[in-house]
């Protein structure tokens, strides 16, 4: 049975209480630093910060409805080689799942990291968040959380949560060492703290938080949130499948792509250190372009656009955790996430693989077995 405690919330301000919690966490001997999103003083954006001084946690805001990047990449940088101390990383569920994928690929290590996951209420795109937050900073965050947990709409003016968040069926970070629960909890009174691993339990023991029980309504609230998102997701799958069902449609779907490769840079599970699409392999001879053009009379420039996206799907679709940063990074508003999640749902099912579930699961293309997929060769081995 997982150990459950609570963070008491004073003056209806869960953010202040969370800051207090992080401060206590950082004061623990075994925690050298904490990685947590903060409002940066120079501008009201929220970025991951690496903090070692407990007094420098005042701008902490992990509940802000935005994540400018998938922080799994930052954690990968911190843990790829020995760090010389433990770091507590405060992440969204999709960031934890992406990090687990990177650990499998030896681009991160679990040894010196404590995963602190917070129930995710969703996020706006970077552009929309700036419109949402205005000059309100943390106040905007509180308004957002109260609204969502009271079942009110997340839509503001003409925008809403990003489609990736609306379609995300993993709002609860079940694989975190320490989970902070918001869904189905009255966050004006308290927040749940749950230890899911022995490491989390040992840490929670030291923090001496008051014990608590999971509120009766929590499971139901989570189920209903997930059901809502699955419904949105399945509709998105159906629409995207239809919109890309042949090569002509796929070409129009990707028509605005300018080969900037931002989606690949933003993708936390695009794991190659150097992408083949920026190597000499794609540094074609000028005469080659002319030959291509002559064959059909016309080719779109730059070339290799559809090739790039299908290759990226072949590389990372089994590991796609659906964070939506690809769409967030696209300068031309191509619904990249919708395409990648739709295709991924099929490739992941084919290998019965759930990315980000556990470091014990091998990535499908890193293993092979005898006697599998015999249907490919007419049932014969």
Instruction: Tell me how far apart the alpha carbons of residues 303 and 258 are, in angstroms, rounded to a whole number.
Output: 10
Return the number of the residue (191 or 316) whose C-beta is nearest other proteins: 316
* Cβ 324 vs Cβ 68: under 8 Å: no
Is the four-CA dihedral 196, 116, 120, 138 of positive or negative sign? Answer: positive
Binding footprint of other proteins on the chain (CB under 8 A): 241, 244-251, 276, 292, 296, 298-300, 303-307, 310-311, 313-314, 317-318, 342-343, 346-347, 350-351, 364-365, 367-370, 372-373, 376-377, 380-381
Please report how close the Cβ of residue 280 comes to other proteins at its closest, in angstroms. 14
Which class for 273: exposed (0-12), middle (13-18), buried (19 or more C-beta within 10 A)?
A: exposed
Instruction: Tell me how far apart the alpha carbons of residues 299 and 124 are, in angstroms, rounded to a whole number.
Output: 37
Return the number of the residue (260 or 276) whose C-beta is nearest other proteins: 276
Return the number of the residue (2 or 301) whose C-beta is nearest other proteins: 301
* Cβ 256 vs Cβ 333: under 8 Å: yes
Return the number of the residue (58 or 245) whose C-beta is nearest other proteins: 245
Please report how close the Cβ of residue 347 comes to other proteins at its closest, in angstroms. 5
Please report how close the Cβ of residue 275 comes to other proteins at its closest, in angstroms. 12
Return the number of the residue (245 or 333) whose C-beta is nearest other proteins: 245
Q: For residue 308, give Cα distances in angstroms to 23, 70, 311.
A: 45, 22, 5
Query: Residue 201 in 3-state DSSP?
Result: helix
Residues 6+ apart with CB under 8 A from 152: none
* Cβ 48 vs Cβ 76: under 8 Å: no
Total Cβ atoms within 10 A of residue 4? 17
Please tell me the number of Cα atoms within 13 Å of 43 on its side-chain side: 4
Instruction: Locate 106 and state its tokens.
Output: 């030896």
**Residues of the chain by 3-state class (helix, strand, coil), percent to 5:** 45, 10, 45
Q: Could you check whether the bond before residue 302 is cis, i.e. omega within 30 degrees of 0?
A: yes
* Cβ 72 vs Cβ 98: under 8 Å: yes
Return the number of the residue (27 or 362) whose C-beta is nearest other proteins: 362
Total Cβ atoms within 10 A of residue 378? 6
Return the number of the residue (88 or 320) whose C-beta is nearest other proteins: 320
Please report how close the Cβ of residue 377 comes to other proteins at its closest, in angstroms. 6
Please report how close the Cβ of residue 345 comes to other proteins at its closest, in angstroms. 10
* Cβ 50 vs Cβ 104: under 8 Å: no
Please report how close the Cβ of residue 326 comes to other proteins at its closest, in angstroms. 17
Return the number of the residue (19 or 342) whose C-beta is nearest other proteins: 342
Return the number of the residue (12 or 245) whose C-beta is nearest other proteins: 245
Please report how close the Cβ of residue 56 comes to other proteins at its closest, in angstroms. 46
Instruction: Locate 305 and state its tokens.
Output: 């656009």
Please report how close the Cβ of residue 300 comes to other proteins at its closest, in angstroms. 5
Please report how close the Cβ of residue 263 comes to other proteins at its closest, in angstroms. 17
């Amino acid at each position: 049975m997982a150990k459950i405690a609570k963070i008491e919330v004073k003056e209806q301000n869960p953010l202040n209480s969370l800051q207090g919690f992080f401060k206590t966490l950082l004061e623990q001997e075994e925690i050298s630093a904490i990685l947590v999103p903060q409002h940066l003083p120079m501008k009201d954006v929220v970025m991951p910060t690496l903090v070692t001084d407990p007094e420098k946690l005042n701008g902490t805001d992990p509940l802000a409805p935005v994540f400018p990047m998938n922080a799994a990449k930052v954690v990968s940088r911190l843990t790829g080689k020995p760090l010389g101390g433990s770091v507590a990383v405060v992440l969204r569920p999709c960031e934890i799942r992406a990090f687990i994928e990177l650990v499998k690929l030896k681009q991160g290590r679990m040894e010196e990291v404590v995963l602190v996951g917070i129930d995710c209420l969703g996020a706006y795109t970077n552009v929309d968040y700036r419109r949402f937050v205005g000059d309100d900073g943390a106040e905007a965050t509180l308004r957002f959380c109260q609204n969502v947990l009271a079942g009110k709409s997340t839509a503001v003016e003409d925008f809403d949560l990003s489609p990736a968040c609306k379609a995300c069926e993993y709002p609860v970070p079940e694989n975190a060492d320490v989970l902070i629960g918001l869904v189905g909890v009255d966050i004006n009174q308290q927040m749940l703290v749950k230890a899911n691993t022995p490491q989390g339990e040992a840490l929670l023991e030291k923090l001496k938080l008051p014990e608590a029980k999971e509120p009766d309504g929590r499971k139901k609230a989570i189920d209903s949130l997930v059901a809502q998102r699955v419904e949105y997701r399945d509709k998105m799958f159906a629409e995207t499948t239809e919109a890309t069902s042949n090569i002509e449609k796929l070409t129009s779907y990707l028509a605005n792509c300018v080969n900037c490769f931002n989606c690949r840079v933003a993708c936390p599970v695009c794991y190659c250190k150097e992408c083949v699409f920026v190597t000499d392999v794609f540094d074609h001879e000028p005469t080659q372009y002319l030959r291509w053009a002559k064959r059909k009379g016309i080719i779109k420039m730059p070339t290799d656009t559809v090739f790039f996206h299908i290759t990226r799907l072949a590389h990372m679709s089994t590991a796609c955790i659906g964070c939506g940063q690809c769409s967030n990074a696209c300068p031309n508003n191509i619904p990249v996430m919708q395409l990648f999640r739709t295709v991924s749902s099929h490739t992941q099912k084919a290998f019965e693989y759930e990315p980000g579930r556990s470091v014990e699961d091998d990535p499908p293309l890193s293993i092979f077995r005898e006697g599998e997929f015999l249907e490919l060769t007419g049932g014969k081995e």
